[in-house]
Amino acid sequence: MTEKEIIEIIESSESNHIKVAVTDIDGVLRGKIINKQKFFKAVKDGFGFCNVIFGWDINDACYDESDVSGWHTGYPDSIATIDLNTLRHVPWNENIPFFLADFSNAKDVNVACPRTLLKKIKQQADDAGYATLFAKEFEWFNFKETPQSLYEKNFTNLQPLTPGMFGYSLLRTSQYQSFYNDIFNLLRRFHVPLEGLHTETGPGVYEAAIEYTDALEAADRAVLFKTAVKEIAYRHELVATFMAKWNSSLPGCSGHIHQNLLSVNGEENLFYDEKEKDGISKLMQHYIAGQLYCLPFIMPMYAPTTNSYKRYVEGAWASTSISWAIENRTTALRVINQTPMHTRLETRVPGADANPYLSIAASLASGLYGIKNKLPLTIAATKGNEYENTHSQKLPKTLQEATTAMKDSPVAKELFGEAFVNHFILTREWECKQVVESEPNAELKRYFEIV
């Protein structure tokens, strides 16, 4: 739609208020409701959003030494820009109009804005003549709890939606059919269409695959998906969590990224070449090589919390090494090459707790790095069980280890710019200090409901 058409939709809307939201560094959607008069002014001039949005952590505690935002700035308003192309109506909230915004035009905080970063990386792909095709998939746990009961129980003895381990179960989804159907149907009306939805292994676990689109829209959908699922769960007196590893004895929650590059007109899959082995084009080989090379230096963008690293357990469906293979779910990167047009790469490292803008930006930027530098694919494809491969380089074990590697390497700054990396490193170093392992259920209290 044109800007004029979108404005006309809002003018004719029965609702006098519009919901707008931005995303912070942790991928948490933060927003407000504004009236029509303020909305039309905001479309023209932007609207003020306190710069603390990039000056505090996931639990609203202010960082100590942020250059972007802090007490030294007085926490003024930064100007957020509404993206009219993100218009949606919230079907579970009286169809209120909804828009995403970012800080791409705000010189004071734009370096810290995740959506602005992804727009920058996507522009690099556009400039190189590639159309991006991305999709996120998520696993998450559902509980018969409320936000109040979580705290009353001190996050102990939580009751899952369904019992036992029963992946791909039609029986289990029939137990809470209205919740299951609402996720699928309401999200489609919210323009976050799902390809599929099913149970996964674990009590009360669902998995959803979001339909493919360009990189920026894929990240928009992913951010909105997580918040929407939580809101829909609330309506059914349930709580959904995207925490990477809420329980050490159960499988973790992933946030895999599917991706490929197309010709500008979208008619040719540039990741496929019938003349190459297994149909994997030279371009895709460079893309894979770039991701493998950069992976050790950008891990916090895939695994941003202290809890994230507890998911990387051998034999628990999460990758633990820098590896790739064809149709193999034990490696970091999985090539799916069943048909020419759908030949693609699945980056299996990100958890469900990762900021979708940052994880997709990391995936795309590192792949483009491999193409730009024509990196050869020197790591051999895994045959069989990668967990048994003692020669592969292992992923970092902790957020501290991963953050130090990112800080000490020039790779991240080359990919994302020094200003963003400096701010992001500061936030991850802060995050390392916030969870006191000796405190009972510290990670559950910090991450369970919010990430």
**Residue 345 near residue 258 (C-beta atoms within 8 A):** yes
DSSP letter at 82 equals E
Phi, psi dihedrals of residue 334, rounded to the nearest 5°: -120, 120
Q: Name the residue among 34, 55, 183 with its Cα closest to residue 101.
A: 34
CATH fold for the domain made of 3-109: Ubiquitin-like (UB roll) (3.10.20)
Residues 69, 410, 331, 129, CA torsion sign = positive
Domains 3-109 and 123-447 share a fold: no
Is residue 284 within 8 A of residue 337, CB to CB? The reply is no
Torsion of CA 408, 113, 308, 143, to 10 degrees: 170
The answer to whether 450 touches 151, Cβ cutoff 8 Å, is no
Q: Domain map of the chain by residue range?
A: 3-109, 123-447
Contact 272, 371 (CB under 8 A): no
Cα separation of 142 and 241, whole Å? 6
412: region left, alpha or beta (phi > 0 left; psi from -120 to 50 alpha)? alpha
- Which CATH architecture is the domain 123-447 placed in? 2-Layer Sandwich (3.30)
pLDDT tens for the chain, 451 residues: list them.
899 999 999 999 888 999 999 999 999 999 999 999 999 999 999 999 999 999 999 999 999 889 999 999 999 999 999 999 999 999 999 999 999 999 999 999 999 999 999 999 999 999 999 999 999 999 999 999 999 999 999 999 999 999 999 999 999 999 999 999 999 999 999 999 999 999 999 999 999 999 999 999 999 999 999 999 999 999 999 999 999 999 999 999 999 999 999 999 999 999 999 999 999 999 999 999 999 999 999 999 999 999 999 999 998 899 999 999 999 999 999 999 999 999 999 999 999 999 999 999 999 999 999 999 999 999 999 999 999 999 999 999 999 999 999 999 999 999 999 999 999 999 999 999 999 877 889 999 999 999 9
End-to-end CA distance of the chain: 32
The two tokens of residue 36 are 């029509």
CA–CA gap between residue 303 and residue 406 (Å, rounded): 12
Structure tokens at 326: 């064809």
pLDDT at residue 1, as a whole number: 85
C-alpha neighbours within 13 Å on the C-beta side of residue 223: 28
| The model's pTM | 0.97
Residue in the block written with tokens 């007085």: 74
Q: Distance (Å, rounded) from C-alpha 420 to C-alpha 111?
A: 5
Q: Which amino acid type is present at position 294?
A: C
Q: Hey, what are 212's tokens? A: 């493919």
336 exposed, middle or buried (CB, 10 Å; 0-12, 13-18, 19+)? middle
Q: How many helices (H) and strands (E) does the chain have?
A: 13, 14
| pLDDT value, residue 229 | 98
